[in-house]
Amino acid sequence: MKLLFLNGVNLNMTGQREKGVYGTETLEQINAQLRAFCKERNVECDFFQSNLEGEICTKIQETDADGIILNAGAFTHYSYAIRDAIASVTTPVVEVHMSNVHKREEFRKNSVISEVCRGTILGFGKNSYILAAESFLL
């Protein structure tokens, strides 16, 4: 089993931006914890972050992972390109958000990718990634 943790636009700023919403740990620190989680379970893992929509699409198309854990950031709310990339592959994708997007601004309540994802986990901070990874191990 191999999992890809895929992060979209602005997730590289985690730990520096809106700390009250996304926490103080950097994406590197969170990814180190996810790597340890996977190692304990004999799961291979891969990590990729990009601020470029097309790079996220290419990664979805080209990954050899068995499952993708995707926090698309703001792309979630408007990227039909990422939605189509997910729909074009058979690799299951679990959508993740650290914050509870339903408690926030109106525009965050709509996800254009949810319909093509296996499921969605949101609102548990960095643990949203862990819970999404767990879903592939059930």
Residues that bind ligand DQA (CB under 6 A): 10, 71, 73-74, 76, 97-99, 101, 108
**Three-state secondary structure call for residue 120:** strand
* Residue among 19 and 39 whose Cβ is closer to ligand DQA: 19
Among residues 22, 80, 102, 129, which one is catalytic? Answer: 22
CB atoms within 10 A of CB 37: 16
**Three-state secondary structure call for residue 65:** coil
* Residue among 57 and 95 whose Cβ is closer to ligand DQA: 95
Q: How far is the CB of 130 from ligand DQA (least distance, A)?
A: 14
Q: Does residue 129 have an active-site annotation?
A: no
Among residues 77, 80, 97, 102, which one is catalytic? Answer: 97
Q: How far is the CB of 89 from ligand DQA (least distance, A)?
A: 21
* Residue among 9 and 57 whose Cβ is closer to ligand DQA: 9
Tell me the chain's radius of gyration from C-alpha atoms: 14
Q: Does residue 102 have an active-site annotation?
A: no
At 46, which helix (H) or strand (E)? Answer: strand 44-49
Q: How far is the CB of 74 from ligand DQA (least distance, A)?
A: 4
| Residues forming a β-bridge with 46 | 4
Tokens 């997007």 correspond to 101
d(CA 137, CA 109): 28
Q: Which residues are catalytic?
A: 22, 97
